[in-house]
A and B are shown apart, each in its own frame.
Chain A
Amino acid sequence: MAENISRAAFGSAAFEKRRLPIIKKPENIEVAQIELSEILHLGKLNIRCNSIYRDKVSKLIQCDLPLEPNYMSNKAGRFAISLGPDEYLILAEPGGENQLEKILNSSNIAKHISVVNVSDAFCAILLSGKKVREFLSKGCPIDLDPNSFQENQSVQCDIALANVILLCLEENEFICICRTSFANYLLDWCCDAGQEFGILVTKGI
């Protein structure tokens, strides 16, 4: 089973080469106001399906696929994010993506949908802290005001030069999903941009 779990290359590329925790803050701030850590081994599945199969897929994965792009739904720790009119990203616990892949590929709609395991292509970072919106706004053109970007909303955008998917979990808690190959760059950017608020990078769980 162990070899089925995503090795989430983010760690190896960006996190494992660095000595953690990283703390960067100005002298006048006592506690870091931004916390960043990797979500290790998070399962990620990319699903392409026509809207007529949406309900069937929702039933099979036991999590409702959102109706509109840039929204997400979550159930029992699994997330379904809408990436476009017919494209979805599913986040599952480590190993859960294999189980979902099997269920979908052995179902009677298997030939009408596309299921791709993208666990190792993307990495997930958990960002939290009371200044996190201000911090992200430094590199992101999206309006991150708490009134316009709320819980269960997701957005695909650029942070600095990296293409990311941002998910809002709580008012001050976000998941940021980026390409594994951009993780190093994004981590560098976060350390620089977060310095004024105080940023703490810890080992992921």
Chain B
Amino acid sequence: MLKIKCPYCGYRNESEFSCGGEAHIARPAVSNKITDSAFCEYLFMRENPKGVFLERWCHTSGCRRWFNIARDTVSHEIYEIYLMGNTPKTVKGKKAYQANWRRTSKAEAASKTPKRTKK
């Protein structure tokens, strides 16, 4: 069993947590302006790496807060635990974040709020 360090409660058993899948999936802000296939990428496509994976986890049986984990899917080693809304700080975490195909996807580009243009 993994021992996961909840940012609020400290080390607890893996059985107290639930995994919420891939982290850093941003919803397109203007979903009616992007194509169906781009929206499909956001909605259905998930990374499935052999190596470092950035995931969302929730401390279900404890404080019920969500946070992110950078975990190796082969060795289960946890490289980093960081709060929601942040991006990874470790070298391995940063690399995994940058290497994800999603960074260059149309859906992610559409998730950034469009800049207001002066009339």
Where the two chains meet, the residues of A that have a C-beta atom closer than 8 Å to any C-beta of B are 69-70, 83-85, 87, 141, 155-158, 163
Contacts and interface: CB of A to CB of B under 8 A. Distances in A.
A179 B49 CA distance: 39
Contact of A156 (B10, B13, B61): B61
Interface of B: 8-10, 12-13, 15-16, 61-65
Chain A interface, >50% SS class: strand
Chain B interface, >50% SS class: loop
A-B pairs with lowest CB-CB distance, top 7: A84-B63, A69-B8, A156-B62, A158-B61, A141-B13, A84-B65, A163-B61
Contacts of A84: 8, 63-65
Contacts of B64: 83-84, 156
A85 B84 CA distance: 13
Contacts of B65: 84-85
Nearest to A85: B8
Contacts, number: 36
Contacts of B63: 69-70, 83-85, 87, 156
B9 A69 contact: yes
16 contacts: A69-B8, A70-B9, A70-B10, A83-B63, A84-B8, A84-B63, A84-B64, A85-B63, A141-B13, A141-B16, A155-B9, A155-B62, A156-B61, A157-B16, A158-B15, A158-B61
Contacts of A157: 12, 16, 61-62
A87 B65 CA distance: 10
Nearest to A83: B63
B64 to A, nearest CB: 7
B82 to A, nearest CB: 15
A152 B12 CA distance: 20
Contacts of A163: 61
A137 B16 CA distance: 16
